Structure 1
Amino acid sequence: MSYCLNPACPNPQNPSDTKFCLTCGTKLLLKDRYRAIKPIGQGGFGRTFLAVDEDKPSKPRCVIKQFYPQAQGTSTVKKAVELFNQEAMRLDELGKHPQIPELLAYFTQDDRQYLVQEFIDGQNLAQELAQVGAFSESQICQLLNDLLSVLQFVHSQQVIHRDIKPENIIRRSRDRKLVLVDFGASKVATANALNQTGTSIGSPEYVAPEQARGRASFASDIYSLGVTCIHLLTQRSPFDLYDINEDAWIWRQYLTSKVSDSLGKILDKMLQTAPSRRYQSAEEVLKDLNPPSVQVATVISQTPTTPAKPLVIKSSPVTPTVTNTPATPSKSQIDVELEALKAEIMGGGTAKNENQKSASSQPPSPNPAKSKSQVDLELEELKSQFLGSPTPKKPPQS
């Protein structure tokens, strides 16, 4: 289909291969290449159409903006002309950013001004909100990270957007990136412009207090973005989220899902009514949104220490030296006690085996056929010393 751009045409729809409107005769191709297909928006300053560029083989889609002010009055129309020209200039400067539409053409035809820009295929956030419902915290954080980088670029070019709202943020279908559109209300932030009271412009629900008084600044865009976020979180009009009597935001009362304290504090600072208490730049918001990870410092000694080797204690049996000891065919009780002593010394005072227990429980029975030698006495003295038993006396001489 081909759509006639004559505002007075009673039947603007035409076949797609027509060059002139069948109803009013208006030329349908702008600059002999841009063909409007259907209207997609209308505002106080003009109309917007989906179009195709027939000068290219692929016939890519684009957007035609027609300057068509609805307001009356010389001063109002003059301001509308200024804003339309301004949008063209802003897009020409900013459109090289991948998340801002590119300006394709700007011209006058049939005494009307036209602006042709890149078409962004996707839904705006107002449409997305109506379709999927309130946003979650993770979605808001993703939105802020994505869009604040765009604002960072816009502000670096000394431009204030002045009309940030869900309708002017499109989620591009091919890569899910957010694209900031509609720079018709944008303003160059020169030193003189910031110090002068200008025209109050912007959507009332989202406009910052100082912007409503004609004193917009970079922080005004931060405010509007904050209002956009709480609207997406609550799915309620921003007018409902502010208590006039208390002069305070009450957006937390309308949350459908919990928001962390960290994000809540960021949004609260973005929404400060006094510009001096608000974030002054997109960089400041991004810094709080993405704090550096906490790194634990590891203190390393200048002289590395060698780890201590484990202490290994080797036990060796205590063997008394016995000279000229005659061989004994069987162990005497003293031998048994001596072995118990050896076992105790070697085992560090551990329990004796069963044979040792039974042997120690019986009284010593010296061998009557053989008297104790000096060695036996020494061994008994040794046993007495280690085991604490009384030293046996010498047997009486017969």
Structure 2
Amino acid sequence: MNSHFLDGHYRILKVLKDGEKGKTYLVEDTNLPGSELIVKQLCPPNKNSQTLTILSRLFTSKAATLEKLGQENDKIQKLVAYFEENEEFYIVQEFIPGNSLSDEIIQGQPLSEDQVISFLSEILEILVIVHSYGVIHRDIKPANIIRRESDKKLVLVNFVTFNEAITNTVDNLEYMPIEQVNGNLKYNSNIYALGIVAIAALLGLTAKEISNLQSQKNKLTGEIVWRPKNLKVNRKLEKIINKMVRFDYRKRYQYATEVLDDLKKLTNVEDQQKQHDKRLLLVLTGIAGFIVLGVGAWILQLPKPVSDAQKTLYQQGVNKYESGNYEGAVKDFNQAIELDPQNALAYNKRGDAYYRLGDYEQAQADSSQAILLNPQDANAYFDRGFAFYGLSKYKEAIADYTQAIKLNSENAYAYYGRGLARSQVKDNKGAIGDFSKAIALKPEYTEAYLQRGILRRRLKQRLAAIQDFDAIIKINPSDAKAYYQRGLTQSLNKQQYAALKDYTDAININPKYIEAFLNRGDIYSDLGNKVEATEDYNTILEIDPKFIAAYIHRGIHRFSFGNYKGAIEDYTEALKLDTNNVAAYNNRGNAYLELGNTKAANQDYSRAIAINANNALAYYNRGIIRTKQKNKQGAIADFKKAAKLFQQQGENDSYQDAQKEIAILQNKSAPAPTTRPKSGKR
């Protein structure tokens, strides 16, 4: 192998990679003895002469651009040469001794926030230059970020512009945004990929684990849910990363400079706080000096209004809070409050930390103390509103949101929070008013449109609800939850085909949207589309084998076309996951009854009643069995109980059915009824 030369003077030292799309070599340029370079072979998809001619021009053009780019910045891998040989394309790049970021991101050993911010800043500065040349990297991942051995600087390598130009294929989907997968590459596709790298670093994830992370998306928004509850991350850094990896590229950072600006603000906060503290100390020192001059030297023995220890502890608490170390923050704020019991800010921040820890009682107590010390602090009322909401004290939350609004009437989020609380106490008019005000203050507030639409649907204002969901889709056509909610509303309006389309759109945006699959499967089942419905239920169980509703809905579907054994299998699987699932017992009882196994059916209905004594369906269905068993009094008792419960629950048709069964049983001359059991609603 060492005797093999490329382009006549590149002697192959080692094959670094051998794949379908080409090989990568470590070579020595014999014209420069002792030199080490990287040569990449790029294989065209076919050897058609016209294709090769077009690709050759494209290859040469792109190579020339990258050659200039490498000369512009020493943090970009230099393109040394490029050539064609035997109808194959080759690029020669500098060899950079060092380790890739893959070696620094070790499984289960997260990098610190400072390390993540540092490498983000370095790579973003490189991207600013890269993008200014009209180049998009296309394959940003830890393996393509090298920490150069000589100066420990990061270098961006392996620009695969050529690979895509020649082979028209892409790899490494775990770091790739949806628009790139669909062939609609954007400059901020690089920002998404870098955000995923940052997540991998903060969590200590391998590429395979990152791939699994891609499936962990919010079922409503489609956004990646990457931060475990026990992970302590600076909220501002988390916000930056979340914006980097937004599903919809239009909601993402558009330029690398924007991310850099926010990162700089994040790193400057501590410096600004220190400068502020210095100025405050100078002022306080001046005041103290004036008092000394006017009153006497003995005053020097009194404690300072704000001690250095108190300030230090408070700032330490803030730093720990922002880094996600909420327990540590609480300890520091505790000490700061001991030194200065009048420090409203310390109470407020400690309350925020308790809220993050899920201790809503203590969060509420601290916010209350902050309000007592500073009644004009709108943020303290806002925070206490959150705490009350977490405690399900919705009236108290409403009062606090109202006070926060009085102190700051332009806060759209306070109106939104109050709308949520008002919705909980059935103040529907007030809730809609609050959501509307939030939208007026923030016209693209999609969550406010969503909650208003859901509430309007609940109030049977379905046309208005659809208009709200339409508004979200207009603002963000990639909002899967808006299509899903509109589909639910269309279904209630008996517009089944419109609902099918909405559910399908939601699934296309978020292929893991379980609820959309479930509802689409139900519509297919109702329309008699046996195969399509089964496929949707099966897909859910591939995504989440423990999703109980999928077993129950598939069981109802199977029951509908006479596959009673299959239905029993589904209900039994559901009961393995939840031994107290009343619907599964009731529906399995129906399937046993259809197969003539009245004993098993009776046991299931009785079990459902034992779990929930107000289950009208189980009483009704057990009444059918008792009728078949000629247990007339037992059947009448069950139908009477079912009728009473149906009436209380507003199920008028089922109430009438139960009354009919009672009348037949009480009329000795009437024929015995041939009633089918009732299944629960999907």
Identify the TM-score tier after normalising by the shorter chain. Answer: 0.5 to 0.7
- Equivalent residues of 1:150, 1:180 under 8 A apart: yes
Q: 1:32 to 1:80 in 2, by over 3 A?
A: closer
1:16-165 mapped onto 2 (5 Å cutoff): 18=3, 28-57=4-33, 59-69=34-44, 85=60, 88-96=63-71, 97-130=73-106, 133-165=109-141
Letter in 1 for 2:145: I
Higher relative contact order (CA 8 A, sep 6+): 1
Deviation at 1:216, TM superposition (A): 1.4
Q: Distance in 1 between matches of 2:200 and 2:18?
A: 23
Letter in 2 for 1:177: K
Provide Cα deviations, 1:292-324, integer angstroms capped at 9, x if missing partner: 55365979xxxxxxx899679xxxxxxxxxxxx
Q: Distance in 2 between matches of 1:232 and 1:308?
A: 54
Aligned to 1:251: 226
- Equivalent residues of 1:48, 1:64 under 8 A apart: yes
Instruction: Indicate the structure with greater helix content.
Output: 2
Instruction: Indicate the structure with greater strand content.
Output: 1
In angstroms, what is the RMSD of aligned CA positions? 3.7
Deviation at 1:232, TM superposition (A): 2.4
1:215 aligns with 2:184: yes
Aligned to 1:176: 152
Point out where structure 1 has 5 or more consecutive residues left out of the alignment: 4-13, 19-27, 189-198, 300-306, 313-398
What is the SS of the residue equivalent to 1:104? strand
Letter in 2 for 1:239: N
Aligned pair partner of 1:279 in 230, 246, 253: 253
Aligned to 2:365: none
Q: Which moved more, 1:276-285 or 1:40-49?
A: 40-49
Q: Distance in 2 between matches of 1:112 and 1:173?
A: 32
Letter in 1 for 2:196: V
Q: Distance in 2 between matches of 1:151 and 1:216?
A: 15
1:237 aligns with 2:219: no
Q: Distance in 2 between matches of 1:82 and 1:184?
A: 17
Deviation at 1:43, TM superposition (A): 4.2
Q: Report the identity percentage.
A: 36
- Equivalent residues of 2:196, 2:245 under 8 A apart: yes
Deviation at 1:208, TM superposition (A): 1.4
Deviation at 1:37, TM superposition (A): 0.7
Deviation at 1:167, TM superposition (A): 1.8
Q: 1:205 to 1:85 in 2, by over 3 A?
A: farther
- Equivalent residues of 1:159, 1:186 under 8 A apart: no
Q: Distance in 2 between matches of 1:73 and 1:111?
A: 7
Q: Distance in 1 between matches of 2:190 and 2:244?
A: 9
Q: 1:138 to 1:202 in 2, by over 3 A?
A: same
Point out where structure 2 has 5 or more consecutive residues left out of the alignment: 281-289, 296-682
Deviation at 1:100, TM superposition (A): 1.1
Q: Distance in 2 between matches of 1:233 and 1:310?
A: 54
What is the SS of the residue equivalent to 2:123? helix
Deviation at 1:157, TM superposition (A): 1.2
Larger radius of gyration: 1
Q: Distance in 2 between matches of 1:94 and 1:215?
A: 23
Q: Distance in 2 between matches of 1:308 and 1:240?
A: 62
Q: Distance in 2 between matches of 1:222 and 1:101?
A: 19
Q: Distance in 2 between matches of 1:210 and 1:109?
A: 34
Q: Distance in 1 between matches of 2:21 and 2:98?
A: 24
Deviation at 1:154, TM superposition (A): 0.3
Q: 1:244 to 1:237 in 2, by over 3 A?
A: same
Q: 1:203 to 1:90 in 2, by over 3 A?
A: farther
- Equivalent residues of 1:160, 1:187 under 8 A apart: no
1:290 aligns with 2:275: no
Aligned to 2:173: 204
Letter in 2 for 1:224: A
What is the SS of the residue equivalent to 2:89? strand
Q: 1:127 to 1:41 in 2, by over 3 A?
A: farther
Deviation at 1:273, TM superposition (A): 1.1
What is the SS of the residue equivalent to 1:41? strand
TM-score (norm 2): 0.36
Provide Cα deviations, 1:337-389, integer angstroms capped at 9, x if missing partner: xxxxxxxxxxxxxxxxxxxxxxxxxxxxxxxxxxxxxxxxxxxxxxxxxxxxx
Letter in 2 for 1:141: I
Deviation at 1:122, TM superposition (A): 1.6
Q: Distance in 1 between matches of 2:75 and 2:152?
A: 11
Q: Distance in 2 between matches of 1:311 and 1:134?
A: 57
Aligned to 2:467: none
Deviation at 1:263, TM superposition (A): 1.0
Q: Which moved more, 1:131-140 or 1:111-120?
A: 131-140
Q: 1:309 to 1:167 in 2, by over 3 A?
A: closer
- Equivalent residues of 2:119, 2:154 under 8 A apart: yes
Q: Distance in 1 between matches of 2:88 and 2:162?
A: 21
